[in-house]
Amino acid sequence: GAVVSQHPSRVICKSGTSVKIECRSLDFQATTMFWYRQFPKQSLMLMATSNEGSKATYEQGVEKDKFLINHASLTLSTLTVTSAHPEDSSFYICSARVSGSFNQPQHFGDGTRLSIL
């Protein structure tokens, strides 16, 4: 089955640090990847849609200069949280769709738990 690998699984760092999270589709090509954020006891909230070879599309209220997304290949998208602060602490999850598929499911990574001290 389609596998999405997310790295790292957990990050603890000081306030002001920039953190990069990688999302890889291991056995399929993904033209589109998605980045979500989930706070404790809440549901997933879509942050942005990452499109290979073009700029990401951000959801309303998500700062594009704060959350930098790069999707340079059909198997890799990265999310960089720039100058992270304690309020950015959250569970970040990526997902990917198989390129060219119609209404097929998204495949999710295992998430990255980010803790900013």
Partner 1 sequence: DAKTTQPNSMESNEEEPVHLPCNHSTISGTDYIHWYRQLPSQGPEYVIHGLTSNVNNRMASLAIAEDRKSSTLILHRATLRDAAVYYCILNSGGSNYKLTFGKGTLLTVNP
Task: State the SS3 of 26-65.
Answer: CCCCCCEEEEEEECCCCCCEEEEEEECCCCCEECCCCCCC
Q: Does 46 bind partner 1 (CB under 8 A)?
A: yes
For residue 108, state whether it binds partner 1 (rule: CB under 8 A): yes
Rule CB under 8 A: which of 58-97 touch partner 1?
91, 93-95, 97
49 vs 14: CA distance, rounded Å: 27
- Asked if 49 interacts with partner 1 (CB under 8 A), we say yes
Q: Of 22, 3, 111, 7, which is closest to residue 70 (Cα–Cα)?
A: 22
6 touching partner 1, by CB under 8 A: yes
Q: Does 106 bind partner 1 (CB under 8 A)?
A: yes
Which positions touch partner 1 (CB under 8 A)? 4, 6, 32, 34, 36, 43-46, 49, 51, 57, 91, 93-95, 97, 102-103, 105-111, 113
